[in-house]
Structure 1
Amino acid sequence: MTIDSSRGGGIRGGVHAHARPIREADIVVIDGLRVTSPARTAVDLAMAGDHGQALSIVDSARLTVRFPNADTRPPVTVDQLEESAEVLGWRPGLPMFRRAMAESVQDSGSAGSRAPGRCCWSGTCPSRSYRRTTASAGGTTTRTSRCPG
Structure 2
Amino acid sequence: MTRQIDELGGITLLGSQKTQYPNGYTPAILEVFNNKHPENDYFVKFTCPEFTSLCPITGQPDFATIHIRYIPDVKMVESKSLKLYLFGFRNHGDFHEDCINIIMKDLIALMQPKYIEVFGEFTPRGGIAIHPFANYGKPGSRFEELAQTRLFNHDMQ
Bin for the TM-score computed over the shorter chain: under 0.3
Say which structure is richer in helix: 1
TM-score relative to the length of structure 2: 0.24
Give the structure, 1 or 2, with the largest relative contact order (CA under 8 Å, sep 6 or more).
2
TM-score relative to the length of structure 1: 0.24
